[in-house]
Structure 1
Amino acid sequence: MYLGSSQENNTTSYSALNQMTDNLFHLWEDHNEDPSIHILSDEEFDIIFLFLIYTSQLINNCAIIANSLSIAVFVKLGFSEPSNISLTALAICDFTLAVLYTWGNLCFLLTYHNVRLPFHGANVTSLTGGAQWVFLSSTVAWITAFISFERCLCILVPLKVRRLITPRGTFVAMLIIIFLTFCPSFFIYIRYEFVWVFNPYINITILNTIPVNSEFAILFEKIYIVICGVIQPLLAFSIVLICTVLLVIQLRKISSWRISVMSAKSQRLKPEENPAASSSAVEVSISQKEERLVRKVVAIATIFIVSFIPTCVMLICDVVFDEFNQFGVFRRLYIISGHITSLGQPISGSVNILIYYKMASKFRSVFKRLVRLDRQEQERYELE
């Protein structure tokens, strides 16, 4: 961490970064430079932003609780099944996203209500939570893509998939995804650095951030934001979308085939009179279990697709329109739009546990024991 060498330099740096400290939301110094001021006044902006913060925090609280329970249930279920590993990784990422979002909301609210913090709320939070949140969203997208792709393989090449998708291989895949999608978020410190700056308005020195204006840092930021912040999540979204469509098509074919086969066999012989028919019934039962897992993945992927579409639009607009960003002339519209689109992630993370509970009998059974909803199962479990 870089420390300012003198109070004079600190004062200059602070003035250059931010001349207004009483209200976090009014980050702009000259209203004439912000065309969006004619759309949203200070009062309207504050009301909308506060509403979004409180709403998002309520949803994030639900996401923290839901994903904590999901992680606990998957730990009790064990990781012998590859799907449990990938779903646990997804729950951990959703939990971390909710925590990062909570950290940002807390700093926003404290600064808005004039609570003196030892750091600049907006700038420091952007580097200690905002950047990580954006890239962790990409991690969630790629884990969802992996889960969807794995189920596609189970449908398309069922005889080979058990050799291709193993618990160890899934664990390694999760580590690779996290390393390639989340870890690059820390490269933001090449472009920005922490400094201690003197705040003349409150007569104290606080932690702030300043941009590194070298040509390499600026070029590096543009390249890695486009690759890691835009291309990666959009590519993952495309994979999830394609795999989900393929899964839905294959599910319909399999369901139609199963109905026709069972109907034909029931018309010929009773299962007890034909051992081959009984064997086929067992195979159908196993495939139905696999089908329930596929349907669960389709539901998870569908919720992800619906919640991620606004983010895709936001990412595209961020690239196409130069001034549509946190520091551009349309920053008010950008901030409001960003908070609206980011609501999709905690909503998706909160709803997943309902899908697990509805579509997975083992998850439902362990969940009931965990929260003591089923006394008889709890007693039986303790006796075992």
Structure 2
Amino acid sequence: MNKTSIQFPDILSLHDIPISAVSNDQLSIFLVIVRVIVTQGLCILGVVTNVLCIVTFVAQGLRDTVNTGLLALAVSDLLSLVTLSWLSVLHTPDFSSRDLPFIPLEMGYLTAGWPHVFFTRITTWITVYITLERCFCIAAPMKVKAVFTPRRTVMYIVGVYLVMLASVFPIYYTARFANKFVPQKNITLLGIVFISDRNDIETVSFHINNILPLTAFILIIVGTAILARKLQQISIWRLKTSSVNRSEEMLSRDTKIVKMIVSLSTIFILCYLPGTIVFIWMMLDPELRIDGQHSYLFEAAFATLFLLEALNSSVSIFVYLATSTKFRQTFFKMFFKPIKSQQDPTASNVSVKQTSTQSEKRTINS
């Protein structure tokens, strides 16, 4: 099969792209600040917070469907941040200017960019599942545990991974790593080559990769609206109820879970709304692509979108700490109590001395 080699334009020196709104230097500075500094900082924060979330959820146990879903969400967030961090490294001027055996930006296309998209799509559909599970709990509270079981939750997550893997497979089919000559450096480096019928295959794949997240985004908005309405109804009901009865105590836990899911979904909507707009724009304008006439807009837009995605994947732990008593107790017990015990060894010594004194008194009295 014939292959066509395409040299990607360097985002830090877009000499061949006509730019009217901004200059090369302005775009370069913007991309360095957003991608290399801000996004990388969020990635480091997010890796730490998601590891803490994973450890906490595992300690709590996975018998509950909510915990299973949130654990899967933390894993996909973690992997999306790791790939995005690698992409930020590849865009670092000091790194990309070194004598590397590969073309950094082209290497990032298949090893960082699309893997990041893959994991963010998984995050999206796990968020859909968590949101709709709470909606079903409101609509049919007596049947929710029979329908949403831990086993089915795991099966759904595995299914999401398989479907998302199938959706990005055409990208990896049309783009391959191969040695290619770089005229600017007069050297042969490892880069990307595309097959001859790339455009036909990518057109179908592109629409699939836009329809799937758009559908998920709509479902999350609808589910979040339903949950927010339910929270409002609960607040009104509590104002009318003067006494605390058993039914309200049973409702308290579900209310906290709903608040947590609404908070997560709201943050997701705010962070992914610009991305949804950009993807619709890309469907209408085929020149908005990395090698199109509007490549400078493509680079600036996706740098901003990746920053927002990194933000969404990094702040979940703060939502859990603010809305979930069980998570908060487990978290502080695991990560802060041992430190406190090590810093205050006198407490155990005092306890031993008190026990010894009491034993001596009993011996004397006897």
TM-score by length of 2: 0.87
Deviation per CA, 1:203-225, whole angstroms, max 9, x where unpaired?
643211111112xx432211121
Question: Is contact 1:153-1:161 (8 Å) kept?
Answer: yes
How far does residue 307 in structure 1 lie from its aligned partner after superposition?
A: 0.6
Structure 2 vs 1, CA of residues 255 and 86 (structure 1 numbering), >3 Å: closer, same or farther? same
The CA deviation string for residues 278-336 of structure 1, in whole angstroms up to 9 with x for no partner, is: xx822321111111111100000000011111101110111111211111111112101
CA contact 1:90–1:140 (8 Å) conserved in 2: yes
1:349 CA drift (Å): 1.4
Kindly indicate whether residue 264 of structure 2 is the aligned counterpart of residue 300 of structure 1: yes
Give the Cα–Cα distance (whole angstroms) in 2 for the partners of residues 68 and 183 of structure 1: 27
Flag the 1:224–1:137 CA change in 2: closer, same or farther, 3 A. Answer: same
**Distance in 2, Cα, partners of 1:290 & 1:205:** 60
Listed one character per residue, the Cα deviations across residues 355-384 of structure 1 (whole Å, up to 9, x for unaligned) are 1111111211121123225767999xxxxx
Conserved 8 A contact 1:136-1:182: no
Task: Tell me by how many angstroms 1:112 deviates.
Answer: 6.1
Instruction: Write the mapping of 1:1-384 to structure 2, written as runs, cut at 5 A.
Output: 13=5, 17=7, 25-28=12-15, 30-31=16-17, 34=18, 37-53=19-35, 54-109=37-92, 114-199=97-182, 202=185, 204-214=187-197, 217-227=198-208, 229-260=209-240, 262-263=241-242, 266=243, 281-373=245-337
> Partner amino acid for 2:218?
S
Cα distance in structure 2, aligned partners of 1:361 and 1:321? 48
Q: Is contact 2:131-2:220 (8 Å) kept? A: yes
> What is the number of equivalent residue pairs in this alignment?
342
- Give the counterpart letter for 1:218 in structure 2: N
Cα distance in 2 for residues equivalent to 1:113 and 1:182: 29
| CA distance in structure 2 between the aligned counterparts of 1:376 and 1:111, rounded to whole angstroms | 42
Structure 2 CA distance for aligned equivalents of residues 24 and 39 of structure 1: 16
Matched residue type, 1:242: V
TM-score, normalized by length of structure 1?
A: 0.83
Cα pair distance change 1:79/1:321, threshold 3 Å: same
Q: Mean Cα displacement is larger for which, 194-203 or 163-172?
A: 194-203
CA distance 1:110–1:51, shift in 2 (3 Å): closer
SS of the counterpart of 2:191?
Answer: strand
Letter in 1 for 2:26: E
Q: Equivalent residue of 1:195, what SS?
A: strand
Q: Deviations over 1:84-120 (max 9, x none)?
A: 1110111111111111111111111156651121111
Of stretches 298-307 and 180-189 in structure 1, the one that deviates more from structure 2 is 180-189
Displacement, 1:250?
Answer: 1.6
Relative to structure 1, is the Cα distance of residues 183 and 363 closer, same or farther in structure 2, using a 3 angstrom cutoff? farther
Partner AA of 1:243 in structure 2: G
| CA deviation string 1:198-246 (max 9, x = no partner) | 44655643211111112xx43221112111x211101101000000101
State the one-letter code of the partner of 2:73. Answer: L
Q: Aligned in 2, Cα 1:289/1:219: closer, same or farther, shift over 3 Å? A: same
CA apart distance, 1:252 = 1.7
Distance 1:333 1:200 in 2: 26
Whichever residue aligns with residue 123 of structure 1, its letter is E
Query: Aligned pair in 2 of structure 1 residues 43, 246: CA closer, same or farther (>3 Å)?
Result: same
Amino acid paired to 2:125: W
1:24 and 1:121 in contact (8 A); partners too: no
What is the distance in 1 between the residues matched to 2:339 and 2:45? Answer: 25
Residues in 2 aligned to 1:109 and 1:116: alpha-carbon distance in whole angstroms: 14
| Residue range with higher mean Cα deviation, 79-88 or 114-123 | 114-123
Listed as ranges, the gaps of 5+ residues in structure 1 are 267-279, 380-384
Q: 1:24, 1:137 → 2: CA distance?
A: 23
The answer (yes or no) to whether the contact 1:85–1:171 under 8 Å persists in 2 is yes
Cα drift, residue 255 of structure 1: 2.9
Which secondary structure state, in structure 2, belongs to the residue aligned with residue 38 of structure 1? coil
* Mapped contact 2:11–2:299 kept (Cα < 8 A): no
What CA distance in whole angstroms lies between the structure 2 residues aligned with 1:246 and 1:40? 43
What amino acid is aligned across from residue 206 of structure 2 in structure 1? Answer: I
Which stretch has the larger CA shift, 365-374 or 246-255? Answer: 365-374
- What is the percent sequence identity of the aligned residues? 27
Task: State the distance in 1 between where 2:326 and 2:279 align.
Answer: 38
RMSD of equivalent CA atoms: 2.5
Greater Cα shift, 180-189 or 199-208: 199-208
